[in-house]
Structure 1
Amino acid sequence: MNSIIGIVLTLICVFGGYMMAGGKLEIILHALPFEMMMIGGAAIGAFVCGNDMHGVKSTLGDIVAVFKGPKWKRQDYADLLCLMHELIRLTEESPVDLEAHIEDPENSSLFQKYPRILASSDFVELICDTLRSMLMNFDNVYQVEELLDKQLETMKEERMHGSHALQSMADALPALGIVAAVLGVIKTMASIDKPPEVLGQMIGGALVGTFLGVFLAYALVGPLATRVAQIREQEAFFYGLMREVLVSRLHKNDANLCIEVARRSAPHGSRPSFTEVEDAIKALKQAA
């Protein structure tokens, strides 16, 4: 919602201020389709040229995420803590039962309690792989911790690809605007015999290209890239929550302490309270 409000506010202030100052919107509207075709088409073409199909689809998904917000909500943080508590408890009480859950999470009654988490196959796979490594009794617990950190870093880097791609597009847009403006000047020079009022409109239309390139770069695409990076950074906290639980368990802490360590590492706006987590865990024990 904030992104939509920001875009609308920008458009109103820029074009409203231009019209209040006596500017004629007709000149911009007349040149807009042609300039947008040149600038937008070149930017999209360069974007497609510089990214594989997976990167293109990922970036489109990132743009959708800007308007939907982060994937993981406050309730998901509480659900993850409950899921990790049950998994850690099994590592203490019944490793054999734990193996059944992590070998087939899709059919696990434990994972099925949390469908939003289960739907994230990459994340579930990471949890299961790490727990499997823990059950293998590595001689050095830091081996498992290092392996987990590397996987999380790789996941974060992959998810930041859309932000980098959009920022590259934003960096290129002012130059593409100049290209469109130069083409407009070339067109104007070819019509130098026209009356001054006609030449004035043609020059104004050419300058629309420069305006569009700068405007799109700094008022639209650049902020989108920044917001995508913010969302992916915030989602990384969710994956880090799982890391805190498992690393704490690697150091032989009991389940309740592992969960509390992770809870405190959650971002403030999404952090469930101690009472909320405690009540949810008690409800799980009663249900069991």
Structure 2
Amino acid sequence: MPKVVPVRPETGNGAIPAENDVAIKVRGVTVGFGEKVVLRDLDLDVRRGEVLGFVGGSGTGKSVLTRAILGLVKKWSGTIEVFGENLDKLSREEHRALERRWGVLFQHGALFSGLTVLQNIQVPMREYLHLSQALMDELAMLKIEMVGLNPDAAHKFPSELSGGMIKRAALARALALDPEILFLDEPTSGLDPIGAAEFDELIGTLQKTLGLTVFMVTHDLDSLYSICDRIAALADGKVAAEGPIKELLQSQHPWLQSYFHGIRAERMNR
């Protein structure tokens, strides 16, 4: 894939966004399992058209927030709004209509092992749309091309794909319904450095081309530096800091100091 430097809107200027500029609004959200509280009174805004990197230590609840927004994990309290709609107040039909406006790439791809790449991409189409098989085939092939896979990957099963190909196939499925919001859970996890850099470039290019809002859970420092407009850091169940990376680099929070100025980070900056 040729190197493309994405040009993104200047969203990370520290200004308070207007209500219609907020794609996802989280207020006072608490989530737990049994007696364990994972997220406590968490607030977060994801602005339209930005790439927001969501970071935190392992097991702190980054993916839990993603699943709470998607409705896969039940929150204990608080409110979540997507495009100004309070998810708790939507009917089942209204929620399904909203689901068509987002796509999800899970950490390990979560492809159906018994379906080909083409069939995996068509799963959301069959769920939400009423299209002919010929049209679904055409649309799925367009998504395969969009994510940089060769056409012959369409008829392969997940077991026949490399790690990088699985990520791209899963991304193609996430884009199947032309979403406005893209949720990415550790998108470069398990990829070698070259593959991870290429995937970052792909995300940046698609975000610019399609005007996507991207909520990206990640540990990857390279991703934060290369494609994120803003970063939100999770610690002690809350967002400890958020803003452009240059602001988080100045934070005195102990976890952020360790994350951005630890041994691995210092090696990257040499």
TM-score, reference length from structure 2: 0.28
More strand by share: 2
